[in-house]
Amino acid sequence: MVIVFDVNGTLLDTRALAPLFEAMFDGTYSAEDWFNQVVQYSMAVTLSDGFLDFGDIAIAVLEMAATARGVRLSRSDIQEVRKAMQSLPPFPEVAGALRRLSAANHRLAALSNSGTSALKKQLRNAELHDIFERAESVSEVKKFKPAPEAYRSIARALGVKTGEVLMVAANPWDLLGAANAGCRTALITRPGKAPLPELVKPDLVAADLDELAGQILGGELGRSGGRSLLLGAGLAAAGVAGAVLLGGARRR
């Protein structure tokens, strides 16, 4: 079994962006709102058979949000957001939990919607780059997660079948795509995250990576029986994109 980790929001804490957005938007638009919309538009790009760098989508969404709210962003504001995205801190337990798994001879990899260059900078700045056997961007297949092609690509790169991959993420939509590709799944319920009943049934659920590492090292994955719910890939992608869109609409 190869353990593949999502990066933004799972290993790295996107809440570190909150002060920047508070300064730019004065409480009218949060970092969480922004990141959810970035995910929404990356899904829309994939569904429309296109591809752009995740960082470029992120800045385009930022500029759209500013225009819609009558906020004027400076060039330094935009540069600061780019820099902050590449310097997100890891959650406190991440490095220790990953090293526990590595010490137990588990193969570890990372899979991110971030572009190749940005992903390398993120992992290096977080001092996690030396832990992973492979860190892959969806730029390799030009399909954003949760498109099943992204998970199949990392499995091929690691020389395993998707059924030998455990995908770990804090977002149920990510696990929906992984399950459709045939992967086992584990949900990390970071603050503000929760299971998505009936639609996604992870093999493992843990509050953080320490708890997950304990479950894996204790053999709980083998006893889970493979509970991930598989849906048609097209239905899954459309349903998740719709859920993100509706979620953003409710906040507005």
- CA pair distance 82, 58, nearest whole angstrom: 9
Nearest alpha-carbon partner for 12 in 35, 30, 29: 35
Q: Coil, strand, or helix at residue 56?
A: helix
pLDDT at 160: 98
Q: Which two tokens stand for residue 129?
A: 């780059």
Nearest alpha-carbon partner for 211 in 100, 84, 59: 100
Task: Report DSSP letters for 141-159, one per residue.
Answer: TT--TTSHHHHHHHHHHHT
Q: Which two tokens stand for residue 176?
A: 């929906």
pLDDT at 86: 96
Q: Which two tokens stand for residue 138?
A: 């969806």
CB 129 within 8 A of CB 135: yes
Entry pTM? 0.89
HSE-CB of 238 using CA atoms within 13 angstroms: 5
pLDDT at 225: 55
Q: Which two tokens stand for residue 86?
A: 């590449």
Q: Which residues contact 44 (CB under 8 A, 6 or more apart)?
A: 241
In degrees, rounded to 5, the angle at the alpha carbon of residue 3 between the alpha carbons of residues 245 and 110 is: 60
From residue 135, give the alpha-carbon distance in Å to each of 7, 160, 181.
10, 15, 19
Peptide bond into 146 cis (omega under 30): yes
From residue 64, give the alpha-carbon distance in Å to each of 2, 11, 16, 34, 46.
39, 28, 21, 10, 19
| Domains assigned to the chain | 2-12+91-242 (3.40.50.1000), 17-87 (1.10.150.240)
Q: Which two tokens stand for residue 200?
A: 């996604």
HSE-CB of 32 using CA atoms within 13 angstroms: 10
The residues pairing with 135 across neighbouring beta strands, listed in sequence order, are 110
Strands (E), 118-191: 134-137, 165-169, 184-188
How many helices (H) and strands (E) the chain has is answered by: 11, 6
pLDDT at 248: 44
Q: Which two tokens stand for residue 245?
A: 């869109």
> What's the average pLDDT block by block, 10 residues per block, for the chain (252 residues)?
97 97 97 97 97 97 98 96 97 98 98 97 97 97 97 98 98 97 98 92 97 96 60 44 43 40
pLDDT at 144: 98
